[in-house]
Amino acid sequence: MPKKKINKRGVTAKKKKIFKKKRILPRKTVKKTTASEYTADQITVLQGLDPVKKRPAMYIGSTGPEGLHHLVWEAVDNAIDEAMAGHCNQIIVELLPDNFVRVSDNGRGIPVDIHKQTKKSALETVMTMLHAGGKFGETGGYKVSGGLHGVGISVVNALSIYTKAESRREGKIWLQEYRRGKPTSKVKAVGKTKLTGTTITFQSDPAVFPQIEFSWRKILERLRQQAYLTKGVKITAIDKRNVTPKTKESGEIYNFYFEGGISSYVKHLNTNKNSKHETIFYVEEEVNGVKTEIALQYTDDFQENVYTFANNIYTTEGGVHLAGFRLGLNKVLNNYARKNNYLKEKDENLSGEDARDGLTAVISVKVREPQFEGQTKTKLGNPEVRQIVDNVFSRHFEAFLEEHPRDAEAIVQKNILASRARLAARMARDSVLRKGVLEGLTLPGKLADCSNRDPKMSELYIVEGDSAGGSAKQGRSREFQAILPLRGKILNVERARLDKMIANNEIKSLIIALGTNIGEQFNLDNLRYDKIIIMTDADVDGSHIRTLLLTLFYRYFRDLIVQGHLYIAQPPLYRIQFLKEICYAYSEEEKERIVLEFQKIKNQKSKIKMTNQKFQNKEKNENEEETAEEKTGIRGLNIQRYKGLGEMNPEQLWETTMNPQTRLMKQVTIEDAEEASGVFDTLMGQEVEPRKRFIQTHAKKVKNLDI
């Protein structure tokens, strides 16, 4: 075979002719980019609202339920900004069929004239462009606003299938509609009106949010909170989701209006508590452009209950305004206690923890240029705000104590009692830990620990009773599962101080097993297990024990819940066996479904029907297999109702409740700290009447109740 002539470039003569004919450069000149190369061609520029669609979590926190409701908050915040500027006194929020939301206000209405920079209507500009709004610069339309970054309503538009913006101003109704953030027409006048204001209607995008159903309860709580923070403004919530033209109903309606503002809010928070003083402290003052508003009242509770807001945004992580308040509170109370001889020279100063024992407070600041951490605004960072809040609060709270000596005495005496309890708790805690070290046993003896020492790979089951504890110890995976059985019911910590808690053996064992310590020495970094799983019987006693444990974790290990470490095991209610097939049911509905499936199998396998005569001739025994046959008509069906974990053998407990591949668990979360705190106060507090009303209200919702 003749050799091919190859030129200097490595191209054969034949290939060279082809290249010339097709005008394609030789292979050597075709540039290939490797994985390590980085060129301008690889830079993607996102235009308009595309960044929001690409990374929605950057703007609304997440695409879960919190992010979904954040769309409503953004629309409502714009209306609240109008109210804070003094141009709006009524806001209406409506939930409509097909998951539409409509937010209306009677403010000034979004401007519709042409914007100089964008050459578009101002309405279209704020709806379709990030960082566009009347909240920037000295010439902005708002001195104070919650929508600091100017991305709120445009983000709502970007993450919705459909949006409609209506602006009532200049005697006309102006309208523009959008599909996934893009306008479908120009801004146009569609009618005449003597009213002013803005109405935003949107339908969230199911391609962005896995779940697009809004929580009526969550929206009501948020709107009630905003009404407290913006006194004199009426906020109406209407649920029209189940309203049709045929029903001619107006839907479920709630109206919120509080002339007392955050003083009314504090009174609401203390509804089921015994207050230590009748007069609620309140101050409102503006210094250097920062408006400070604080209300507080002490109760006979043992926990701190403080809520902070900046420009009506709930700052869940606090910030400088909270730091300034705490500094002033501790300073004023110590000075007053020393001055009036409640604290002697030999006595220690009250700690911050002592000063906040049983405190309910609402702190609200209005700042012209707030510095928040992230778009979701969970923490305020303006350094000047701390000093302003400290000074304003200190002056007025000091005057309050002087003008109300009886209230002041009740407050200081409670602080001193808290200080003594704290010192007693410290001694008890140190004694517990020191005793463990001296005995060479840092972990409680009844704890069956796992062999894995990596907390991220380990989990702790808190089990009710020694019987269930024994089954759990035998059925577990010793490598990564630890078992801590509890005897009986632990102390109700809602009614006890820390020193009494630590004296309780069950709580003491749990604290040592967790490794985080408790109180002022709590450190989540020392948690010994990634998952803490409460596993109790599916009966009344089991529910009570679970509630007692949840109260303990919520009040003293809240960070553990916030970080997602607490779970509730879901043991099955029924074991259902048909011939050789075994299934487990976790609810009455699931049991009925499984029995129905077995009925179908039975009908397919045999056409022979059981007659009444056969049942009459059969000798009956009062066992569960016979009962199941009588109820279902399926011979060979066995239904076992589990009354407790101890009724399951180790293999069954592993298979149904402890095996990570097959088990069901509920993760404990805190959607609303205020509501959660109220529920624990109601269920576990000293007042009987609120608990009675709660039980009467929710009794019909209870399923699988064993008495």
Enumerate the active-site residues. Answer: 464, 537, 539, 541
Beta bridge partners of 462: 484, 534
Q: C-alpha angle 542/489/519, rounded to 5°?
A: 115
Q: C-alpha angle 426/431/434, rounded to 5°?
A: 120
Tokens at 133, concatenated:
């709004």
Position 106: which residue type? N
The rounded distance, in Å, linking the Cα atoms of 68 and 211 is: 8
Q: Where are the alpha helices (DSSP H) in 356-440?
A: 383-403, 405-438
- If you ran DSSP here, which 8-state letter would residue 549 be given? H
Give me the residue label for tokens 């569609």.
Answer: 190
DSSP for 205-220, please give it: -TTT-S-----HHHHH
462 and 486 Cβ atoms separated by less than 8 Å: yes
Element (H, E) at 166: strand 160-169
User: Residue 136: which residues within 8 A CB-CB, separation 6 or more?
Assistant: 150
The rounded distance, in Å, linking the Cα atoms of 285 and 389 is: 10
State phi, psi for 295 to the nearest 5 degrees. Answer: -135, 140
The rounded distance, in Å, linking the Cα atoms of 154 and 159 is: 9
Give 205-208's long-range contacts (Cβ < 8 A, gap of 24+): 205/159, 205/160, 205/161, 205/180, 206/161, 208/53, 208/56, 208/63, 208/159
How far CA 317 is from CA of 321, 404, 582, in Å, comes to 11, 32, 49
Beta bridge partners of 298: 359
Burial class of 389 by CB neighbour count within 10 A (0 to 12, 13 to 18, 19+)? buried
Beta strands in 51-108 (DSSP E): 90-96, 100-105
3-state secondary structure of 258: coil
Taking alpha carbons only, the member of 422, 401, 403 closest to residue 328 is 401
